[in-house]
Amino acid sequence: MKLETIAIHAGNKIDPTTKAVIQPLTLSTTFQRDEDGNYPGGFVYSRADNPNRQSLENVLAKLEGGFDACAFASGNAAGAALFQSLEPGSHVIAADDMYHGLKALINQVFPNILDVDYIDLSDLEAIKAAIKPHTTKLIWIETPSNPLLKVADIRAICEIASTHGIKVCCDNTFASPIFQRPLELGADFVMYSSTKYFGGHSDILGGAMIAAEASALWAQVRNIQSLSGAVPSPFDCYMTVRGIKTLPYRMRGHAANAREIALFLQRHPKVEKVFYPGLESHPLHNVAREQMSDFGGMLSFTLAEGEAAARKVANAMEIFTQATSLGGVESLLEHRASVEGPASKTPKNLLRLSVGLEAVDDLIDDLQQAIG
């Protein structure tokens, strides 16, 4: 089946009692046992599993072409489950500009458990040089990256990892499975903040991890999901399944708008640089074009007049809302360096845009009046 059909049907079951076309929300935390002490409905306790979570995990796995999926309470919880599944002392190679929330999680929660090197994953030779033959267990890719929209060659990195018996996980949040298919390019796991494009309306919190195949490492991720309890509520699962039904169409709209805005910004005399893999000026545009079917709704740009100008633009927007997060139908703008804190390597004159589904002419007019 095509992705549009999977998105609508793989997360839904017609209710056997009422014949409701949309699967109902199951809020119960516990489920009845039969006289032999078994669970005829297949569910025991909602921390371990829930009908709505099962539906969400089914559509996630099928959208990604994976073996199985685990839904979590947030993207960070999804990442943490994989990090916790590694043996203590494992060496991890990660992107030097990986999402700051996950980087903070690694640095503050796992500093005495994992050995992590942050490098430029667009440099394949640097990846080879960073591998420690006996201890490197995971390469964590994020492409396109947040907020610099760097591109990593997923297939090439997976080939390097495979020769050393190293697992690869790709944070595919910006691209979604509609535009990029990491498991088909050789990755072992793909991770998402489902808060973003899967939910699509800035009203749920969630994360996901999908595996290419069964493995001992995946079994441990699944075990941690159940035992740690960092799982999404039934309501958030229900709403995420609902959001996914329009995901293919929303992603096309986001990408179409972002492309027009990137071209507008590239021509603007007050814009120093535009970071968008869909532009031919992007240093790894050719790699992005090979592994992505389209380039997504996220972009960043820097102002030639510096940080003060960037903050002035952020405060002058009328349609773009100045707010954290991304992937909703509404357009958002953020001065990332101030969010990431004093340790941030993000340029202080950079603004990140989550391009929404408003009329693109209105969005361009808003940027024009704010930049001047």
Output the pLDDT for position 349.
97
CATH number of the domain enclosing 365: 3.90.1150.10
Same-domain status, 157 and 44 = yes
**Residues contacting residue 122 through CB under 8 Å, at least 6 positions apart:** 150, 151, 152, 153, 283, 284
Same domain, 149 and 234: yes
Which DSSP symbol is given to 24?
P
Mark whether 162 and 264 lie in a shared domain. no
For residues 188 and 211, the answer to whether their CB atoms sit within 8 Å is yes
* Same domain membership, residue 273 and residue 239: no
> Considering 214, 244, 274, which residue would you say is the last residue of a domain?
244
Domain boundary among 218, 244, 270: 244
The CATH number of residue 182's host domain is: 3.40.640.10
Which tokens is 299 given? 């972009």
User: How confident is the model at residue 155, as a pLDDT?
Assistant: 98
Number of domains composing the chain: 2
237 and 286 both lie in a single domain: no
Q: Are residues 136 and 120 in the same domain?
A: yes
- 130 and 33 together in one domain: yes
Same domain, 58 and 138: yes
Count CB neighbours of 315 within 10 A: 11
Range of the domain at 117: 3-244
The 10 Å Cβ neighbour count of residue 361 is 10
**Do residues 240 and 316 share a domain?**
no
Tell me how far CA of residue 292 lies from CA of 41, 54, 98, 122, 279, in angstroms: 41, 29, 19, 16, 13
Residue type, 344: S
Is 238 in the same domain as 264?
Answer: no
What is the residue whose two structure tokens read 């599993």? 49
- Residues assigned a catalytic role: 47, 99, 171, 196
Cβ neighbours around 321 below 10 Å, total: 15
3-state helix, strand, coil in the chain (%, to 5): 40, 15, 45
pTM across the whole model: 0.96
Q: 305 vs 2, 48, 322, CA distance in Å?
A: 47, 53, 20
Among residues 213, 244, 275, the one where a domain terminates is 244
Residues 44 and 184 in one domain: yes
Tens-binned pLDDT, residue by residue, of the chain (372 aa): 999 999 999 999 988 889 999 999 999 999 999 988 899 889 999 999 999 999 999 999 999 999 999 999 999 999 999 999 999 999 999 999 899 999 999 999 999 999 999 999 999 999 999 999 999 999 999 999 999 999 999 999 999 999 999 999 999 999 999 999 999 999 999 999 999 999 999 999 999 999 999 999 999 999 999 999 999 999 999 999 999 999 999 999 999 999 999 999 999 999 999 999 999 999 999 999 999 999 999 999 999 999 999 999 999 999 999 999 999 999 999 999 998 888 788 999 999 999 999 999 999 999 999 999
Are 236 and 255 in a shared domain? no
Query: Is the distance from CB of 335 to CB of 319 less than 8 angstroms?
Result: no
